[in-house]
């Protein structure tokens, strides 16, 4: 089986973790989700996060993570899961406030976005409970295996 292509874009001007570590986190989480599709991780700032959050969710504030499934009109040559937009500055700030290593905190939001792209949501109480359980299980596995 060929490893899925993981594209990483940094639009923040800040130094992000190494692409190797980020790809390892994504690939391991995809394996646990039984998905073998490519995706992109896009690191953004508060301004773009606010714009995207308002445009897609009508919430006029920055958020930590947004996930978007694939645009079926685009001619990808391989299966493509979608895009995850990560507000890196906000995640670093929250991690520092909570006294959590930012790479661990960041990995939780990457996993959160991946679970959404895998087709899960948290719109109902039951779905939210399942989502949280899956997120925690994958997060613990990623921390134990990679971080």
At residue 103, the pLDDT reads 96
Cα–Cα nearest to 64, from 34, 102, 37: 102
Q: And the tokens for 90?
A: 């906000």
Residue 145's contacts (CB-CB under 8 Å, 6 or more residues apart) are 28
Q: Identify whether the C-beta of residue 93 lies closer than 8 Å to the C-beta of residue 109.
A: no
What is the mean pLDDT of the segment spanning 10-24?
96
Residues 6 or more apart whose CB falls under 8 angstroms from that of 56 comprise 66, 68
pLDDT at 104: 96
CATH architecture observed for domain 6-145: 3-Layer(aba) Sandwich (3.40)
Q: Per-residue confidence at 3, pLDDT binned at 50, 70, 90?
A: confident
């Amino acid at each position: 089986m060929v490893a899925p292509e993981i594209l990483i874009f940094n639009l923040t001007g800040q130094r992000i973790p190494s692409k190797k570590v980020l790809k390892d986190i994504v690939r391991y989480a995809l394996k646990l989700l039984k998905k073998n599709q490519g995706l992109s991780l896009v690191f953004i700032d508060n301004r773009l996060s606010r714009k995207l959050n308002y445009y897609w969710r009508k919430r006029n504030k920055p958020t930590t993570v947004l996930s978007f499934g694939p645009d079926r009109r685009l001619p990808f040559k391989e299966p493509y899961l979608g895009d995850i937009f990560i507000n890196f500055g906000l995640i670093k700030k929250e991690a520092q406030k909570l006294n959590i290593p930012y790479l661990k905190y960041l990995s939780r939001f990457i996993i959160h976005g991946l679970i959404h792209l895998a087709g899960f949501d948290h719109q109902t109480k039951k779905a939210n409970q399942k989502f949280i359980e899956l997120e925690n299980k994958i997060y613990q596995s990623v921390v134990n295996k990679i971080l």
